[in-house]
Amino acid sequence: MRRSILAFVLILTAPLMAELPPSAYEAMQAKASDFFEVEILRADIQPNEAANETKITLTARVEKAFRSSTGISEGSVITIIYAVVDRPTGWAGPGRVPILKQGDKKVAYLEKSPKPNQYLPAAGAMTFQQF
């Protein structure tokens, strides 16, 4: 009986995702192909196809290029795209990438998108901040 209860509890909790530990975010930051300090010049926030999803398009100027596998240098203007999903109250899971606004100055851990001068967040909730 105990085993069946334990198995039932494990089956119910298996789909839940927990917040990632700091070491996971640090590893993602270390693996990011591009690491910049950016100033957000424009933030476009639009509803996405899914009802609970918001599409974010940031236009940013690279203030400092700490690491760039793509050859981006200081003064370059790049686009950062991502989507933010609204989760129900009490949902447990990885933190979402913050929504930045015009004028924000942040570090940015990014990965190159297939499109020119377009980047994607590389460190989840910690894409725009350092430990």
Sequence-distant (6+) residues with CB within 8 A of 84 are 53, 54, 56, 96, 97, 99
Decide if domain 20-126 falls under CATH 2.40.50.120. Answer: yes
For residues 36 and 110, the answer to whether their CB atoms sit within 8 Å is yes
- Mean pLDDT across the chain: 85
14 has a pLDDT exceeding 50: no
Tens of pLDDT, residue by residue over 78-97, are 999 999 988 777 777 778 89
Sequence-distant (6+) residues with CB within 8 A of 31 are 122
Tens of pLDDT, residue by residue over 56-80, are 999 999 999 999 998 999 999 999 9
Quote the pLDDT of residue 89: 78
Tell me the mean pLDDT in the region 112-124.
Answer: 94
Give the Cα separation of 129 and 12 in Å (integer): 34
Tens of pLDDT, residue by residue over 23-39, are 899 999 999 999 999 99
